[in-house]
Amino acid sequence: MAELPPDIDFTTVVEPTEAELAINRWHGLIPVRPGEAAAPGGAVKLINAGESEPWYRHVHGLTADIPPLGVAVLDNVTLSGPGYLFRDGAMLTDGSEPFQVARRFAEAEQLPTETLMRRERQVVVIDPVLLICGPGHAMWGHWLLDFLPRLAVAQAVLGEMFTRCVIPVPTDTPPWVDALLAQAFGLKRERLLRYDRRRETLLCRRACVPSHAHHNYFLHGFMADFYRRMAPPAADMPRRLFVTRRPFTEATPSAAHRCVQDADFEALAVARGFTVVAPETLDFATQWAMFSQAEAIIGICGSGMHNALFAPPGAMVGQVGMPNAHQSRIAAVCGQSVAYVFPDTAEPDGHGALGMQVASAALEQLFDALAAGPAGW
Protein backbone atom coordinates (compact mmCIF):
# COMPACT_ATOMS: atom_id res chain seq x y z
CA MET A 1 0.00 0.00 0.00
CA ALA A 2 1.07 3.60 -0.57
CA GLU A 3 2.60 5.28 2.48
CA LEU A 4 0.70 8.39 3.53
CA PRO A 5 2.27 11.05 5.76
CA PRO A 6 1.13 11.26 9.39
CA ASP A 7 -2.31 12.75 10.00
CA ILE A 8 -2.91 16.32 11.19
CA ASP A 9 -5.25 16.60 14.19
CA PHE A 10 -7.59 19.57 13.71
CA THR A 11 -9.35 19.33 17.08
CA THR A 12 -7.40 21.91 19.10
CA VAL A 13 -10.12 24.05 20.70
CA VAL A 14 -10.06 27.78 19.91
CA GLU A 15 -12.25 30.69 20.95
CA PRO A 16 -12.27 33.09 17.98
CA THR A 17 -12.93 36.78 18.51
CA GLU A 18 -15.91 38.50 16.94
CA ALA A 19 -13.58 40.10 14.37
CA GLU A 20 -12.13 36.73 13.40
CA LEU A 21 -15.62 35.27 13.10
CA ALA A 22 -16.66 38.15 10.85
CA ILE A 23 -13.91 37.50 8.31
CA ASN A 24 -13.82 33.70 8.70
CA ARG A 25 -10.13 33.59 9.57
CA TRP A 26 -9.51 31.03 12.25
CA HIS A 27 -8.11 27.57 12.70
CA GLY A 28 -8.98 24.85 15.17
CA LEU A 29 -12.23 23.66 16.73
CA ILE A 30 -14.96 26.11 17.73
CA PRO A 31 -16.76 24.15 20.46
CA VAL A 32 -20.51 23.75 20.82
CA ARG A 33 -20.67 21.05 23.53
CA PRO A 34 -18.00 19.96 26.01
CA GLY A 35 -16.63 16.47 26.04
CA GLU A 36 -18.25 13.90 28.27
CA ALA A 37 -18.05 10.29 29.38
CA ALA A 38 -20.22 8.04 27.23
CA ALA A 39 -23.17 6.50 29.03
CA PRO A 40 -22.46 2.87 29.98
CA GLY A 41 -24.69 0.17 28.58
CA GLY A 42 -27.92 -0.41 30.48
CA ALA A 43 -30.00 -3.55 30.89
CA VAL A 44 -29.01 -6.34 28.49
CA LYS A 45 -30.23 -9.88 27.88
CA LEU A 46 -27.84 -12.28 26.13
CA ILE A 47 -29.62 -15.32 24.74
CA ASN A 48 -27.60 -18.40 23.73
CA ALA A 49 -24.29 -16.53 23.94
CA GLY A 50 -22.69 -19.57 25.56
CA GLU A 51 -19.13 -19.25 26.80
CA SER A 52 -18.83 -15.85 25.09
CA GLU A 53 -21.46 -14.25 27.33
CA PRO A 54 -18.94 -12.57 29.71
CA TRP A 55 -17.17 -10.99 26.74
CA TYR A 56 -20.38 -9.68 25.15
CA ARG A 57 -21.54 -8.35 28.51
CA HIS A 58 -18.17 -6.62 28.95
CA VAL A 59 -18.37 -5.02 25.48
CA HIS A 60 -21.95 -3.87 26.09
CA GLY A 61 -20.97 -2.15 29.34
CA LEU A 62 -17.88 -0.31 28.11
CA THR A 63 -17.66 3.46 28.22
CA ALA A 64 -15.17 6.03 26.93
CA ASP A 65 -14.35 9.71 27.09
CA ILE A 66 -15.78 11.66 24.16
CA PRO A 67 -13.91 14.82 23.09
CA PRO A 68 -15.62 18.22 22.78
CA LEU A 69 -17.90 18.73 19.78
CA GLY A 70 -17.52 21.64 17.41
CA VAL A 71 -16.51 22.81 13.96
CA ALA A 72 -13.02 23.50 12.64
CA VAL A 73 -12.90 26.18 9.95
CA LEU A 74 -9.78 25.84 7.83
CA ASP A 75 -8.47 27.28 4.60
CA ASN A 76 -7.25 25.36 1.56
CA VAL A 77 -8.56 21.88 2.34
CA THR A 78 -8.54 19.30 -0.46
CA LEU A 79 -11.39 16.77 -0.65
CA SER A 80 -10.70 13.51 -2.47
CA GLY A 81 -12.38 10.10 -2.66
CA PRO A 82 -15.47 9.55 -0.49
CA GLY A 83 -14.11 11.85 2.23
CA TYR A 84 -10.31 12.06 2.38
CA LEU A 85 -9.38 15.52 3.68
CA PHE A 86 -5.89 16.90 3.03
CA ARG A 87 -4.19 20.08 4.16
CA ASP A 88 -0.51 20.96 3.83
CA GLY A 89 0.11 17.57 2.21
CA ALA A 90 -1.28 15.43 5.06
CA MET A 91 -4.66 13.95 5.93
CA LEU A 92 -6.83 15.67 8.52
CA THR A 93 -8.27 13.69 11.42
CA ASP A 94 -10.22 14.17 14.63
CA GLY A 95 -9.01 10.79 15.90
CA SER A 96 -12.39 9.12 15.35
CA GLU A 97 -12.97 5.77 13.69
CA PRO A 98 -14.52 7.27 10.50
CA PHE A 99 -11.34 9.25 9.85
CA GLN A 100 -9.26 6.13 10.50
CA VAL A 101 -11.44 4.24 8.00
CA ALA A 102 -10.98 7.06 5.47
CA ARG A 103 -7.23 6.72 5.85
CA ARG A 104 -7.42 2.94 5.26
CA PHE A 105 -9.56 3.54 2.15
CA ALA A 106 -7.01 6.06 0.88
CA GLU A 107 -4.10 3.70 1.50
CA ALA A 108 -5.97 0.89 -0.29
CA GLU A 109 -6.02 2.97 -3.48
CA GLN A 110 -2.22 2.49 -3.55
CA LEU A 111 -1.61 5.94 -5.01
CA PRO A 112 0.90 8.59 -3.96
CA THR A 113 -0.47 11.38 -1.79
CA GLU A 114 0.09 13.86 -4.63
CA THR A 115 -2.13 11.78 -6.92
CA LEU A 116 -4.88 11.45 -4.32
CA MET A 117 -4.80 15.23 -3.92
CA ARG A 118 -4.80 15.92 -7.67
CA ARG A 119 -6.98 13.52 -9.60
CA GLU A 120 -7.89 13.93 -13.27
CA ARG A 121 -9.91 17.07 -12.63
CA GLN A 122 -9.40 19.68 -9.92
CA VAL A 123 -12.29 21.94 -8.92
CA VAL A 124 -11.72 25.10 -6.89
CA VAL A 125 -14.65 25.94 -4.60
CA ILE A 126 -14.83 29.58 -3.46
CA ASP A 127 -18.04 29.32 -1.42
CA PRO A 128 -17.69 28.06 2.17
CA VAL A 129 -17.84 24.28 2.14
CA LEU A 130 -19.30 21.99 4.80
CA LEU A 131 -17.44 18.67 4.80
CA ILE A 132 -19.49 15.87 6.38
CA CYS A 133 -19.26 12.79 4.13
CA GLY A 134 -16.90 9.86 4.30
CA PRO A 135 -16.78 6.13 3.64
CA GLY A 136 -20.26 4.69 4.06
CA HIS A 137 -21.93 7.58 2.21
CA ALA A 138 -24.33 5.12 0.54
CA MET A 139 -25.47 3.50 3.81
CA TRP A 140 -28.44 4.53 5.94
CA GLY A 141 -26.74 3.68 9.22
CA HIS A 142 -23.78 5.95 8.49
CA TRP A 143 -26.10 8.84 7.73
CA LEU A 144 -27.81 8.33 11.10
CA LEU A 145 -24.66 7.87 13.18
CA ASP A 146 -22.08 9.93 11.30
CA PHE A 147 -23.33 12.48 8.80
CA LEU A 148 -26.66 13.86 10.10
CA PRO A 149 -25.23 14.55 13.59
CA ARG A 150 -22.25 16.32 11.98
CA LEU A 151 -24.70 18.59 10.18
CA ALA A 152 -26.46 19.26 13.48
CA VAL A 153 -23.13 20.19 15.10
CA ALA A 154 -22.37 22.54 12.21
CA GLN A 155 -25.79 24.17 12.38
CA ALA A 156 -25.38 24.79 16.12
CA VAL A 157 -21.94 26.41 15.67
CA LEU A 158 -22.19 28.30 12.39
CA GLY A 159 -25.58 29.95 12.66
CA GLU A 160 -26.28 32.06 9.56
CA MET A 161 -23.10 30.84 7.88
CA PHE A 162 -24.61 27.33 7.84
CA THR A 163 -27.16 28.54 5.27
CA ARG A 164 -24.37 29.70 2.93
CA CYS A 165 -22.27 26.54 2.92
CA VAL A 166 -22.33 24.09 0.04
CA ILE A 167 -22.14 20.41 0.94
CA PRO A 168 -20.09 18.10 -1.31
CA VAL A 169 -21.48 14.58 -1.80
CA PRO A 170 -20.14 11.92 -4.18
CA THR A 171 -22.17 11.40 -7.36
CA ASP A 172 -22.93 7.82 -6.29
CA THR A 173 -24.70 9.02 -3.13
CA PRO A 174 -28.21 7.46 -3.16
CA PRO A 175 -31.11 9.72 -4.26
CA TRP A 176 -32.87 9.26 -0.91
CA VAL A 177 -30.19 11.40 0.72
CA ASP A 178 -31.64 14.51 -0.99
CA ALA A 179 -35.02 13.90 0.64
CA LEU A 180 -33.38 13.03 3.97
CA LEU A 181 -31.49 16.33 4.11
CA ALA A 182 -34.54 18.29 3.00
CA GLN A 183 -36.73 16.77 5.71
CA ALA A 184 -34.15 16.89 8.50
CA PHE A 185 -32.59 20.31 7.82
CA GLY A 186 -34.63 21.97 5.08
CA LEU A 187 -31.63 21.77 2.74
CA LYS A 188 -32.42 22.37 -0.91
CA ARG A 189 -30.89 20.19 -3.59
CA GLU A 190 -28.86 23.06 -5.01
CA ARG A 191 -26.90 23.23 -1.74
CA LEU A 192 -25.39 19.82 -2.59
CA LEU A 193 -22.21 19.88 -4.67
CA ARG A 194 -21.90 16.53 -6.44
CA TYR A 195 -18.45 15.38 -7.45
CA ASP A 196 -16.94 12.27 -9.02
CA ARG A 197 -14.96 10.78 -6.12
CA ARG A 198 -12.77 8.71 -8.47
CA ARG A 199 -11.89 11.43 -10.98
CA GLU A 200 -12.23 14.77 -9.20
CA THR A 201 -10.69 16.57 -6.25
CA LEU A 202 -12.15 19.69 -4.69
CA LEU A 203 -9.90 22.46 -3.39
CA CYS A 204 -12.00 24.17 -0.74
CA ARG A 205 -10.79 27.69 -0.01
CA ARG A 206 -12.86 27.81 3.20
CA ALA A 207 -13.79 24.47 4.73
CA CYS A 208 -15.99 23.84 7.77
CA VAL A 209 -15.22 20.42 9.25
CA PRO A 210 -17.63 19.34 12.03
CA SER A 211 -16.53 16.77 14.57
CA HIS A 212 -18.38 13.49 14.84
CA ALA A 213 -20.94 13.25 17.63
CA HIS A 214 -19.22 10.11 18.87
CA HIS A 215 -15.81 8.75 19.66
CA ASN A 216 -15.37 5.39 17.97
CA TYR A 217 -19.17 5.02 18.18
CA PHE A 218 -19.42 5.81 21.87
CA LEU A 219 -22.22 8.32 21.35
CA HIS A 220 -22.27 11.84 22.78
CA GLY A 221 -25.50 12.96 24.45
CA PHE A 222 -25.76 15.64 21.74
CA MET A 223 -26.85 12.91 19.33
CA ALA A 224 -29.75 11.76 21.48
CA ASP A 225 -30.76 15.39 22.07
CA PHE A 226 -30.72 16.08 18.33
CA TYR A 227 -32.96 13.16 17.41
CA ARG A 228 -35.32 13.82 20.32
CA ARG A 229 -35.58 17.51 19.43
CA MET A 230 -36.38 16.69 15.82
CA ALA A 231 -39.11 14.16 16.67
CA PRO A 232 -42.29 14.86 14.66
CA PRO A 233 -45.69 15.49 16.25
CA ALA A 234 -47.33 12.41 17.74
CA ALA A 235 -49.46 10.34 15.40
CA ASP A 236 -51.30 7.04 15.73
CA MET A 237 -48.52 4.55 14.98
CA PRO A 238 -47.89 0.92 15.90
CA ARG A 239 -45.81 0.55 19.05
CA ARG A 240 -44.22 -2.88 18.46
CA LEU A 241 -42.12 -3.00 15.30
CA PHE A 242 -40.40 -5.85 13.49
CA VAL A 243 -37.71 -4.50 11.16
CA THR A 244 -37.57 -6.77 8.14
CA ARG A 245 -34.57 -6.95 5.82
CA ARG A 246 -36.26 -9.18 3.25
CA PRO A 247 -37.04 -6.52 0.59
CA PHE A 248 -33.53 -5.11 1.01
CA THR A 249 -31.67 -8.43 0.87
CA GLU A 250 -33.76 -9.64 -2.07
CA ALA A 251 -32.88 -6.47 -4.00
CA THR A 252 -29.28 -6.45 -2.72
CA PRO A 253 -27.93 -10.03 -2.60
CA SER A 254 -24.59 -8.78 -1.26
CA ALA A 255 -26.17 -7.20 1.85
CA ALA A 256 -23.83 -7.81 4.78
CA HIS A 257 -26.18 -9.90 6.93
CA ARG A 258 -29.33 -11.89 6.43
CA CYS A 259 -31.23 -14.47 8.42
CA VAL A 260 -31.68 -17.78 6.60
CA GLN A 261 -35.16 -18.23 8.06
CA ASP A 262 -36.33 -14.64 7.38
CA ALA A 263 -39.88 -15.70 6.51
CA ASP A 264 -40.27 -17.77 9.68
CA PHE A 265 -38.88 -14.90 11.79
CA GLU A 266 -41.42 -12.50 10.24
CA ALA A 267 -44.31 -14.92 10.76
CA LEU A 268 -43.33 -15.31 14.42
CA ALA A 269 -43.23 -11.52 14.83
CA VAL A 270 -46.74 -11.15 13.38
CA ALA A 271 -48.02 -13.94 15.63
CA ARG A 272 -46.54 -12.08 18.62
CA GLY A 273 -48.37 -8.86 17.69
CA PHE A 274 -45.56 -6.98 15.95
CA THR A 275 -46.03 -4.81 12.85
CA VAL A 276 -43.63 -5.67 10.02
CA VAL A 277 -41.77 -2.58 8.78
CA ALA A 278 -39.35 -2.25 5.86
CA PRO A 279 -37.72 1.13 6.65
CA GLU A 280 -36.27 1.60 3.16
CA THR A 281 -39.82 1.69 1.73
CA LEU A 282 -40.81 4.64 3.96
CA ASP A 283 -39.78 8.28 3.75
CA PHE A 284 -37.68 9.74 6.51
CA ALA A 285 -40.52 11.62 8.21
CA THR A 286 -42.65 8.48 8.43
CA GLN A 287 -39.79 6.42 9.83
CA TRP A 288 -39.05 9.11 12.39
CA ALA A 289 -42.69 9.36 13.46
CA MET A 290 -43.11 5.59 13.66
CA PHE A 291 -39.96 4.77 15.63
CA SER A 292 -40.35 7.79 17.92
CA GLN A 293 -43.35 6.03 19.49
CA ALA A 294 -41.99 2.49 19.48
CA GLU A 295 -42.07 0.53 22.71
CA ALA A 296 -40.37 -2.59 21.30
CA ILE A 297 -38.22 -3.07 18.18
CA ILE A 298 -36.99 -6.44 16.92
CA GLY A 299 -34.93 -7.34 13.87
CA ILE A 300 -31.66 -8.54 12.37
CA CYS A 301 -28.48 -6.50 12.88
CA GLY A 302 -28.08 -3.78 10.29
CA SER A 303 -28.77 -0.14 9.49
CA GLY A 304 -32.52 -0.46 9.89
CA MET A 305 -32.10 -1.27 13.58
CA HIS A 306 -30.27 2.03 14.07
CA ASN A 307 -33.70 3.67 13.80
CA ALA A 308 -33.82 2.97 17.53
CA LEU A 309 -32.10 6.38 17.70
CA PHE A 310 -35.58 7.83 17.19
CA ALA A 311 -37.18 5.66 19.90
CA PRO A 312 -37.88 7.05 23.37
CA PRO A 313 -36.12 6.19 26.64
CA GLY A 314 -37.46 2.93 28.03
CA ALA A 315 -37.93 1.32 24.61
CA MET A 316 -36.76 -2.29 24.31
CA VAL A 317 -34.69 -3.55 21.39
CA GLY A 318 -34.22 -7.19 20.37
CA GLN A 319 -31.59 -8.02 17.78
CA VAL A 320 -30.29 -11.10 16.01
CA GLY A 321 -26.50 -10.86 15.86
CA MET A 322 -23.99 -8.49 17.46
CA PRO A 323 -21.29 -7.89 14.83
CA ASN A 324 -20.32 -4.67 16.62
CA ALA A 325 -21.44 -2.69 19.65
CA HIS A 326 -23.36 0.02 17.75
CA GLN A 327 -26.78 -1.12 18.99
CA SER A 328 -25.54 -1.21 22.58
CA ARG A 329 -24.13 2.31 22.20
CA ILE A 330 -27.46 3.57 20.82
CA ALA A 331 -29.32 1.93 23.70
CA ALA A 332 -26.91 3.50 26.21
CA VAL A 333 -27.27 7.09 25.01
CA CYS A 334 -31.03 6.78 24.44
CA GLY A 335 -31.81 5.07 27.76
CA GLN A 336 -33.04 1.82 26.19
CA SER A 337 -32.61 -1.86 27.03
CA VAL A 338 -31.42 -4.42 24.49
CA ALA A 339 -31.59 -8.20 24.10
CA TYR A 340 -29.41 -10.18 21.70
CA VAL A 341 -29.78 -13.58 20.10
CA PHE A 342 -26.68 -15.08 18.54
CA PRO A 343 -26.71 -17.19 15.37
CA ASP A 344 -25.86 -20.88 15.62
CA THR A 345 -24.06 -20.62 12.28
CA ALA A 346 -23.01 -17.69 10.09
CA GLU A 347 -21.70 -18.75 6.70
CA PRO A 348 -21.03 -16.84 3.44
CA ASP A 349 -24.01 -17.41 1.16
CA GLY A 350 -22.17 -17.09 -2.17
CA HIS A 351 -23.41 -13.53 -2.80
CA GLY A 352 -21.06 -11.77 -0.40
CA ALA A 353 -23.54 -11.81 2.49
CA LEU A 354 -23.33 -13.65 5.77
CA GLY A 355 -26.25 -16.05 6.10
CA MET A 356 -27.16 -16.48 9.77
CA GLN A 357 -29.01 -19.56 11.00
CA VAL A 358 -30.77 -19.14 14.35
CA ALA A 359 -32.58 -21.84 16.32
CA SER A 360 -36.34 -21.29 16.40
CA ALA A 361 -36.35 -21.75 20.18
CA ALA A 362 -33.84 -18.89 20.53
CA LEU A 363 -36.04 -16.59 18.43
CA GLU A 364 -38.97 -17.45 20.69
CA GLN A 365 -36.82 -16.55 23.71
CA LEU A 366 -36.07 -13.15 22.15
CA PHE A 367 -39.77 -12.30 21.98
CA ASP A 368 -40.24 -13.70 25.49
CA ALA A 369 -37.47 -11.44 26.80
CA LEU A 370 -39.11 -8.32 25.40
CA ALA A 371 -42.51 -9.42 26.71
CA ALA A 372 -41.02 -9.81 30.21
CA GLY A 373 -39.10 -6.52 30.04
CA PRO A 374 -35.72 -5.73 31.59
CA ALA A 375 -37.09 -6.22 35.11
CA GLY A 376 -37.31 -9.92 34.26
CA TRP A 377 -33.78 -10.20 32.87
Q: Is residue 45 part of a domain?
A: no
Residue 227 has pLDDT above 50, yes or no: yes
Instruction: Collapse the DSSP code of 323 into the 3-class scheme (helix H, G, I; strand E, B; otherwise coil) and give the result.
Output: coil
Least Cα distance to 78 among 114, 31, 29, 26 occurs for 114
Q: Are residues 208 and 247 in the same domain?
A: no
Which residues form the domain of 161?
Answer: 8-37+65-228
Q: Would you say residue 2 lies in a domain?
A: no
Residue-wise pLDDT tens digits, 21-43: 544 555 678 889 999 999 999 99
Rounded to whole angstroms, the Cα distance separating 233 from 230 reads 9
Do residue 102 and residue 192 come from a single domain?
yes
Question: For all residues of the chain together, what is the average pLDDT?
Answer: 89
Model pLDDT for residues 66-82, shown as the tens digit of each residue: 999 999 988 899 999 99
Q: Where would I find the H helices in the chain?
A: 18-23, 53-61, 97-108, 113-117, 140-142, 148-158, 176-185, 221-229, 246-251, 262-271, 284-291, 326-334, 360-372
Q: Are residues 280 and 206 in the same domain?
A: no
The pTM of the full predicted model, rounded to 2 decimals, is 0.91
Q: Total structural domains in the chain?
A: 2
